[in-house]
Copies of this chain bind each other. A is one copy, B any other.
Amino acid sequence: MNSTSFFPSGELRERLLVHRLDMAHPGDVSSLAALLEAGELAAGDVVAVIGKTEGNGGVNDFTRGYFTQSLMGLLARYTGQPAEALQRRVPCVLSGGTEGVLSPHYVIFARRREAAAGAAGALAVGTAFSDPVPAQDVGRWAQVRAAAAAVRMAMRQAGIEHPKDVRFVQLKCPCVTSARAQAAELAGRTVRTADPARSMAFARAAGAFGAAVALGELPDDPGLESAMLSDFNLRSDRASVSSGVEVDAVEAIVLGHSALWQGSLRMACAPMRDALDIAGVGNALQALDLAAAPQLDGAQATRVAAVFVKCEPDRRGRVRGARHTMLDDTDIDAQRHIRGAVGGLVAGVLGDTRLFVSGGAEHQGPDGGGLVAVIADAG
């Protein structure tokens, strides 16, 4: 693939459009339909979607598949392309679970070609799909390489020259259900784990390693396979990875700054060292000339286009020395616990609950913490 093919000559530039939309339930895409109907957005310009749906975020969370089917059906009607083809072209990365104050919503990323005007350089987006990842590859180095290749392809597509210009990588990786594990076993394959929840964790770890390899944070060394879910010093500080039953390949969305794009959108990402790292949230905002005191005021809040957070229940069982109970809870999944807590914190700083807060931050940001990324209008 030739990356230049994505880009116009000097007189034309790309522009990123970001729409943060609400949904009344996981089958509701009426807010997007209204934009399309009004002509504010062309269905063919949509290149990626990241959203939060109100499921449990676990293996049996079908709100992701439901929303995806609804979204692709809508885009199919407006583009005239079959939904199946769209699903292979437009990554739709959903994280289930709107615990606590979090609000179900989705962020539409669109790119539009237009005449060059004003200064060059703006937030850019690129996407890519890997080949299908078979059950036996989930959580293994084969998945790491599939993810790294997808990230690199998305960078090229976005026209992002250097890994350092990448601000945020969002991946969605397939996992192994007990049914898939059965099937693989019958076919003589060994899955890394047949435990569905554990499989989702391995899928996220391998995705994070893949992003880190592509961004130069980790070497492409298969010997590191054993470090997954064991050595948490190995990590990416700009990768957010989800996993779910509804995808069979790695889907990548890469956001970063590129001289081939124009517009006022910028992005920043900062690590969170633990679940209480309110200063980490401030760091991401500060890089975009936003200051919470202690909360963004109304004018600043309107500049925020989207927020993405990864977090993790500290696996050592303590936060700042005090015991937490997330990991020993048979009633509520640990990821649901942490999403609710960190979501409450970030929402308090932003004054907004429309946050993509995703659990399962293994190897994504500091161990026991995670990261926070913000897209804002530079004004």
Hey, which bits of chain A sit against chain B, CB under 8 A? Answer: 22, 24-27, 54-63, 65-66, 69-70, 73, 98-105, 177-179, 182, 195-198, 245, 275-279, 282, 292, 294-295, 315-317, 319-320, 322-333, 336-338, 340-345, 347-349, 351-354
Contact = CB atoms under 8 A, between A and B. Distances in A.
A2 B179 CA distance: 50
A195 B202 CA distance: 14
Contacts of A341: 99-102, 340-341, 343-344, 347
A101 B276 contact: yes
Given A330-B57, A336-B332, A324 B292 contact: no
Given A60-B331, A332-B336, 13 more contacts: A59-B329, A61-B330, A62-B62, A65-B66, A73-B73, A99-B340, A100-B326, A104-B323, A282-B294, A294-B349, A341-B341, A341-B344, A345-B348
A294 B277 CA distance: 10
A180 to B, nearest CB: 10
A101 B111 CA distance: 39
Contacts of A182: 316-317
Contact of A319 (B316, B340, B353): B353
Contacts of A343: 341, 344
A329 B55 CA distance: 9
Contacts of A316: 178, 182
Q: Which of A22, A54, A60, A104 has the most CB of B within 10 A?
A: A60
Contacts of A24: 179, 323
